[in-house]
Amino acid sequence: MCGCQIAEHIKRNSRAIDENRVTIDKSTRAIETNAGAIDASTAKINRNAKAVEGASNVVVENVEAVNKSATAIQAIAFIATQSAEAIRENRAAVEMNTQAVAENERIVRQATSAIEKLQQLQTLMDSLEQHKTLIVASLGVIAVLVVVQPVLMCIAIGRVLRLLTALRHIQ
């Protein structure tokens, strides 16, 4: 190979090297652009991952809220059942109270009647108290008539018998 061929060869190689440098520069810029795009994509992926994580948290919170709601609904159903039972018991109690009121009214009527009779008896007793002296005197007269008169009769009969006995002795 001669010097001109070598120079030509060097020239071609230099052009090739220059072209390769241009290609390397383009590749470097493309790699840098791709790296920026990759960074942007990574940032988007990270944002999306955070969004997915946030959405997952929201889903978990919603599931927990649904579970709490289901528990609350069960509690409300239990309370409704208890309230219905309490209403039935209250109705029964009202019925019993109504019967008790009717019985109490009957007792009050009887007590009122008894009080009226006692008031009448008290009036009679007050009247008797006012006429006590007259009643005692009347009882005394009745006692004299019932007790004293037969005694006097017995005494009179006894005297008559003694007189008869004395007359017999005289004869």
Same domain? For 155 and 107 the reply is no
The pLDDT of residue 136 is 77
Same domain? For 63 and 145 the reply is no
The string of DSSP codes covering 137-157 is: HHHHHHHIIIIIHHHHHHHHH
Model pTM?
0.41
Same domain? For 146 and 125 the reply is no
Total tally of structural domains belonging to the chain: 2
135 contacts: CB under 8 Å, gap ≥ 6: 128
Give the pLDDT of the chain (171 residues) as one tens digit per residue: 677 888 888 888 888 898 999 999 999 999 989 988 998 999 999 998 898 888 888 899 999 999 999 999 999 999 999 999 999 999 999 999 999 999 999 999 999 999 999 899 888 888 777 777 777 777 777 777 777 777 778 888 888 888 888 877 876
Same domain? For 60 and 136 the reply is no
Same domain? For 154 and 115 the reply is no
The pLDDT of residue 164 is 81
Same domain? For 74 and 19 the reply is yes
- 128, 135 contact by CB (below 8 A): yes
Same domain? For 106 and 48 the reply is yes
The pLDDT of residue 135 is 72
128 contacts: CB under 8 Å, gap ≥ 6: 135
What is the extent of the structural domain holding 152?
A: 132-171
Same domain? For 13 and 56 the reply is yes
Same domain? For 20 and 77 the reply is yes
